Structures are given as structure tokens and as C-alpha cells.
């Protein structure tokens, strides 16, 4: 999973920030759905690696997920942005999430700890 996230990072389209991110999302069948950040000249249309991975999987009919790995080249490991946390919670719930950098430093946590007191369908 960590290698898959690091490999996906190599596909990042990040000519504006030069900040390359990769994600690898494993479903309950063991299939891995990867994503990278895809930036746009209008900046605001940029999509993060995590959301690309989730939306790719959802668009293929996959609904149940086990864990996700997110790769970026930072010493302090890069966590998902707020928008991605909300999307991950919506589709993946309290999955395991591992942050990793190219030096192999990693940290694993649960989404409920990264995204406490989330707003979700239970309120509707």
C-alpha cells in the first residue's frame, strides 16, 4: 500500500505547487485504487490525490474500503486536507489511514481520530 501510494505520487500533475501527493485506497476485496493530485491553472479546480482515489473507486461501483495510504515528500507527514477528510468519512468511514514519505517514514491512525465529531448522514 505504501509503495502504491508512493508510485501514484509520481503521476501527480502539480506544475503550480510542485507538491506531489499520491494515494492508495484498498477495498474489502483487496483491490487497490490509486490517485494523485491533479492541479489546474485556475487553482481552485485542483483535486487532491485522496479524492481522486475515492472517486475513481466509487465510479467503478466499489463501496466498501479497508484502508488508505497517502504519500508526500515532507518530514512532518502530510495529512489529508479538510475537504478530503469529509469525502473519506462519507465513503470510507472509520478506516485505517497511513501517512508516508519517500524515506519510508510512516504513521498509521484511524479516520475517527483524524476527523473527530464529523458531520455525516447520521444527522440528516
DSSP H/E element including 90: helix 82-92
Catalytic residues: 50
CA 111 vs CA 12, 47, 66, 105, 106: distances in Å: 24, 20, 11, 19, 16
Q: Contact with ligand THU (CB under 6 A): which of 5, 26, 39, 69?
A: 39
Q: Is 34 in the site for ligand THU (CB under 6 A)?
A: no
Q: Between residue 64 and residue 123, which ones bind ligand THU under the rule CB under 6 A?
A: 70, 78, 80-81, 84
Rounded CA-CA distance 78/67 in Å is 16
Q: Is 46 in the site for ligand THU (CB under 6 A)?
A: yes
Contacts with ligand THU by CB under 6 A lie at 14, 17, 19, 21, 37, 39, 46, 48-50, 70, 78, 80-81, 84
Amino acid at each position: 500500500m505504501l509503495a502504491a501510494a508512493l508510485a501514484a505520487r509520481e503521476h501527480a500533475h502539480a506544475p503550480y505547487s510542485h507538491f506531489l501527493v499520491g494515494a492508495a485506497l484498498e477495498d474489502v476485496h483487496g483491490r487497490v485504487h490509486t490517485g494523485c493530485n491533479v492541479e489546474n491553472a485556475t487553482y481552485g479546480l485542483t483535486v487532491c490525490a485522496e479524492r481522486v482515489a475515492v472517486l475513481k473507486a466509487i465510479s467503478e461501483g466499489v463501496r466498501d474500503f479497508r484502508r488508505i495510504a497517502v504519500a508526500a515528500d515532507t518530514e512532518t507527514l502530510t495529512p489529508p486536507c479538510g475537504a478530503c477528510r469529509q469525502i473519506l468519512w462519507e465513503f470510507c468511514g472509520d478506516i485505517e489511514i497511513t501517512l508516508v514519505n519517500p524515506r519510508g517514514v510512516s504513521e498509521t491512525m484511524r479516520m475517527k481520530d483524524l476527523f473527530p465529531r464529523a458531520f455525516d448522514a447520521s444527522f440528516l
